[in-house]
Amino acid sequence: MAPSAIVARAVAAGLDGLALTDHQSARNTPAIAACAKRAGIKCLYGMEVQTAEEVHTLALFDTTEQALALTDWVYAAMPKRVNDPETFGDQPVVTWDDDIVEMEWRILAMGCRHTIPETATKVHALGGLYIAAHVDRANPSVLGALGAIPEPLVASEAQPGGGKFFDAVELSRTAVADLWLPKVEGYAVTRSSDAHNLDDIARVWTETDGGEFSVAGLKALFAARATRLSPRLTNFC
């Protein structure tokens, strides 16, 4: 999905904001930042970090610089294995107008050596939000892999979310909210399209009454439990 196409689809669908969270890399966030600015839609920048526990987690930032700093940190803890496009697909790094400037050589489908506590500390130190991704999925979610959402034994300044590693949890587009909400009690909940193709963008979403689409704005909404989930997607295979 080209950044320009992602933004055009989000605008057409009526979203007020979107976030780009590619797996293990934020190198395409500058491109989507430029597209979002031109289109007048708000955007957050991040990545889906696969931790040492083989768990998918989301990091969200206000700036591409923060997201790219996390990318460098994750890259340093990844296996130095060259991507096989025939197996894992191409990994282009692009400009806002869709020119390919480089092919990322690492296998981004693999995890890194950083644990959930380490990643939470790094994300928060960089000024970001840390979210447990698609917790209703058997694999590779925190509940599927660990059976519970880990929390620090002692709260610290590095974990400002009430002493928790995660600022919120995410339900997938097919999750039955009534079934899963009791399992994540005590956490703010979001629902995201987790789109891997253009047709899936905005098929589900998260709503709020007011608030700013920024890290600070979302943190306040999460603290107030002021998010609502769109209906789940039932016609998806």
Cite the beta strand spans of the chain per DSSP E: 17-23, 42-50, 56-61, 92-94, 100-103, 129-132, 168-171, 189-191, 206-207, 228-229
pTM here is 0.94
Query: Within a 10 A sphere around the Cβ of 227, how many other Cβ atoms?
Result: 18
Please list, in sequence order, all residues whose beta carbon lies within 8 angstroms of the beta carbon of residue 148, skipping any fewer than 6 positions away. 142
User: For every one of its 237 residues, what pLDDT tens digit does the chain have, with 9 covering 90 and above?
Assistant: 899 999 999 999 999 999 999 999 999 999 999 999 999 999 999 999 999 999 999 999 999 999 999 999 999 999 999 999 999 999 999 999 999 999 999 999 999 999 999 999 999 999 999 999 999 998 899 999 999 999 997 666 556 556 799 999 999 999 999 999 999 999 999 999 999 999 999 999 999 998 899 999 999 999 999 999 998 876 644
CATH for 3-229, options being 3.40.630, 3.20.20, 3.40.1110, 1.10.10:
3.20.20
Query: Within a 10 A sphere around the Cβ of 2, how many other Cβ atoms?
Result: 20
**103 φ/ψ angles, rounded to the nearest 5 degrees:** -110, 120
Q: Determine the pLDDT at residue 237.
A: 43
CA distance 202 to 160: 30
Nearest residue to 48 via CA among 133, 114, 107, 138: 133
* Domains in the chain: boundaries: 3-229
**82 φ/ψ angles, rounded to the nearest 5 degrees:** -80, 135
